[in-house]
Structure 1
Amino acid sequence: MSPAVAESWNIIVGWLGRHAPLELALIRPPAAEDDIRDVAQRVGTALPNDLVAWWRRADGQAGKGALLPPFYSPYSIRRALDSRDVWMTAWNGVMEQASADQFAAYVAQENRAPAGSPCKGAWLPRWLPIAGDGGGNDLFVDLRPGPAHGCVRQFLRDDGASDTACWSSVAAMLAEVADALTQDSPVSGSRIWVDDDGAMSWDSDRSRWSGGGSAPVNVARLRQQYAAFVAEVRSAGFGPPTAGSWSAEWIAAHVARNTELLIAATEAVLADDPVGREQRRAAAWAARDWTLHRELMASAERAAANIRYDNADAMDPNTLDRYAAGGLATLADQVEQLGVHLCDLVEPLNRGRPSAHVRIIDAGITILDERQGWLGVLNALWARQLPLRTRQLRALR
């Protein structure tokens, strides 16, 4: 049985106040009772007690937040009803074009089906949005009758409603979010992340190692994150790790070895001249030389298959022991020099779209083993990996 809404919400609000004040500032005051009654009237059925209890604590968020994983911000009641109206008119308006009578009969039939039943072809009157991602995707509560009444599901603008529930209830959703915030536990594969400026988001295990895409690397930020990590290593005063955690020596050893692996892959990418190939590919496209364009694309595919980054050695206990034997002072100097070298290599890559075969192992699990944009790996290095290791060091002091 899930904890009461009030208990979970108090935990969430308390955690936000300590760690993510920007997210806390978006939370609106409690909803008006008249608005809650209006929702029940519009939907045509009683609302779940946990949803009402939540709205009595907060009427959603003002602006775009990320309180609910992986990227959802709770709606106010007014926004919930507005979103429902959009789905009822825009989505259903497209679906009913073939035959209005048949579509109306389909909607009536599915609206009587038990809550949680799959329905891809319509937005049903007894579905109520409770959160959105700002890009046309919503979380909604399924208010149809049955044991699953009040379950929380996703509605994606391109695919429609999810076939299965994300949570059995609003109370279960808030309880899992409260646990995720306070215990750093995953929710459907997403873990909480708060930037140094207090902005909150949710990461997958994969995105913590590779951001994907070909956005240029912020080399200045990469240098800053290496400098911050090295300064933390040199500050010393670390205590022993908790069970299952790494020591300060292992954390520094990991960053040293991983940077060596990143340098080796980056040098291989540079030797392949991805920038020059990208320029030739663009010229071939402009000249409508499709044969040359296809050859250059195939060349990029072959190069990516041969250029590999595998972090396994940087996670291996024997490797970490060997590197850690030199002590923290030596590791700090090593990471500083390696970081400078890697940053110097990265700048030329920003003019191209290099890729490599990337294999990532974390906690003994392979979370990525495929071709990836190499700039995405380097962007994740400054945005997640180095800050994460710096925070791990701070937690040991």
Structure 2
Amino acid sequence: MTIEAKHSTEPESMQPHMKIAESWSCLNAWLQSMPDAIPGGLNAPASDDEIQILEGALGVKLPEDFITSLKTHGGQVDQDGVCFEGESLLDVKGILNEWTCWREIVVDGLFDGMTSDPDDGVKDDWFNLKWIPITKNGMGDCLCIDLDPAPGGTVGQVVRMLHDDDRRERVAASFEEWLCRMVMDITGLDVEEQQK
């Protein structure tokens, strides 16, 4: 079964769900027979030092599920290779580079007075410095971990940031949920069947 990687209307507690380790284990097993599915493959784990430096540069504490993921695979090797719905999964350096680009635009005041059209639980900023990019598509768009949600949102939810569109879609309640959906989408895995 292929799952659309959109925000489901199904209650989050009722959705099929895998933990970070399970998602990566399933994807890694599938990649053994489909090694070209992720261009360049996946990186080795990010080190504690790399994660600490990243958090210091961003001025945030990253969610535990995302840290767990970085400690399994620190993004994908080819930062321009697409896989996750036409986007590449950023490594530690890529996360900081993308965030720094957005930060410079914010600091320069180019977004002053601009608001977005967000889903419930997402602030109406054009870009928020507590949105941490985790993917890029090469056209200025990214998915971000939202560490500053609006009322009704959750810290760590995943938000789609479009550079030339005011929509701000809440695509998952957490990175763990997003990764699970991506693995189901890529591999065709049915989590309900897997967990029986």
For normalisation by structure 1, the TM-score amounts to 0.39
User: Corresponding residue for 1:35?
Assistant: 50
SS at match of 1:118: coil
Counterpart Cα distance in 1 of 2:133 and 2:44: 19
Q: Distance in 1 between matches of 2:184 and 2:66?
A: 19
> Given the alignment, which residue of 169, 175, 182 partners 1:177?
182
**Superposition RMSD on alpha carbons, in Å?**
2.6
Answer whether contact 2:39 2:82 (CA < 8 A) is retained: no
Deviations 1:197-220 (A, max 9, x none): xxxxxxxxxxxxxxxxxxxxxxxx
Deviation string, structure 1 residues 123-178 (Cα, Å, up to 9, x no partner): 21211000101111111100126751111111111125x43311111111111122
Matched residue of 1:163: which SS? strand
| 8 Å Cα contact 1:88-1:125 kept in structure 2 | yes
Residue deviations 1:305-363 (CA, integer Å, cap 9, x gap): xxxxxxxxxxxxxxxxxxxxxxxxxxxxxxxxxxxxxxxxxxxxxxxxxxxxxxxxxxx
SS in 2 for 1:152: strand
Q: Distance in 2 between matches of 1:157 and 1:176?
A: 24
**Which secondary structure state, in structure 1, belongs to the residue aligned with residue 144 of structure 2?**
strand
Distance 1:37 1:116, change over 3 A: farther
Aligned to 1:95: 111
Deviation at 1:24, TM superposition (A): 6.0
Identity score, percent? 23
Change (3 A) 1:43 1:15: same
Give the deviation of 1:62 after TM superposition: 2.3
SS class of match (2:54)? helix
Structure 1: runs of 5+ lacking an equivalent: 97-102, 108-114, 186-397
**Runs of 4+ that moved beyond 6 A:** none
The answer for the alignment partner of 1:217 in structure 2 is: none
Amino acid across the alignment from 2:63: P
Q: Distance in 2 between matches of 1:118 and 1:43?
A: 19
Q: Secondary structure at the match of 1:9?
A: helix
1:49, distance to aligned residue in structure 2 (A): 0.9
1:49 matches 2:53: no
Change (3 A) 1:45 1:116: farther
Q: Any idea what SS the aligned residue of 2:30 has?
A: helix
Which structure carries more relative contact order (alpha carbon 8 Å, separation 6+)? 2
Task: Report matched runs for 1:230-379 at 5 Å.
Answer: none
1:10 corresponds to 2:14: no
Larger gyration radius, structure 1 or structure 2: 1
Instruction: Pick from 148, 164, 167 the counterpart of residue 158 of structure 1.
Output: 164
Across the two proteins, how many residue pairs are aligned to each other?
A: 167
TM-score in terms of structure 2 length: 0.74
Contact 2:133 2:142 in 1 (8 A): yes
Aligned-pair distance for 1:58? 1.0
One-letter amino acid matched to 2:82: A
